[in-house]
Amino acid sequence: MDTEHASPEDLAALRAAFDVGHGDGSALGWEAVRAFEARHGVVLPEPYRTLVAEITDGSFQGPPDFGLVALEELPDDWGDERPERDLSRPFPLTSAWLREDDDRPEEELAPLRAHVFDHGSIVLGTDGCGMYWHLVVTGPQRGRIWNITGEGACPFDAGFAGWVGHWAAGKPWFDVS
């Protein structure tokens, strides 16, 4: 997965998935993308970076089920009580994590859960019921998509273009093969 350069094939697939009839937000342009990156101390991974700069900044159609949120937004069900997000801090996981399989006491787990939700990733959207899709922007998992819930976190076995392609093919979120 190349997070530094968008392949022509990936960009063509993204343009097809978010064609004029489906892209609900207008593209931000490169100046706005670079300003976002400078404010947050990150460089967005490709091909998502080119998507928001040139194709669309969000889509009510999806993915995920409730739509791709704009770069500067969070899903409506995100909640107001969460800590401030810090995109420049590395995403804390490198493999799937399930709360029920972790024997550490709650006082150790609470910070981990907060960091998983709020460090090193942008929120792409929700499938409802507290299931959020994140694109990791900082750390070893940069460019990977993760499904994060209160019960745990699991990587999607592809980057952004693969995740959009999975959705465009009509596959459900739990069918990652």
Structural domain span for residue 164: 8-168
Q: Decide: 137 and 120 in contact? Cβ < 8 Å.
A: yes
In contact, 94 and 136? CB cutoff 8 Å: no
Q: What is the pLDDT along the chain (177 residues), one digit of tens a residue?
A: 788 899 999 999 999 888 744 444 589 999 999 999 999 999 999 999 999 999 999 888 878 888 899 999 988 888 777 767 899 999 998 988 887 787 888 787 776 776 777 899 999 999 888 889 999 999 999 999 999 988 889 999 889 999 999 998 888 776 654
The structure tokens listed for 86 are 């810090």
Does residue 52 lie in a domain region? yes
> Is 98 a domain residue?
yes
Does any domain span residue 177?
A: no
Count of structural domains within the chain: 1
In a domain, 42, yes or no: yes
Query: Per the domain annotation, does 3 fall within a domain?
Result: no
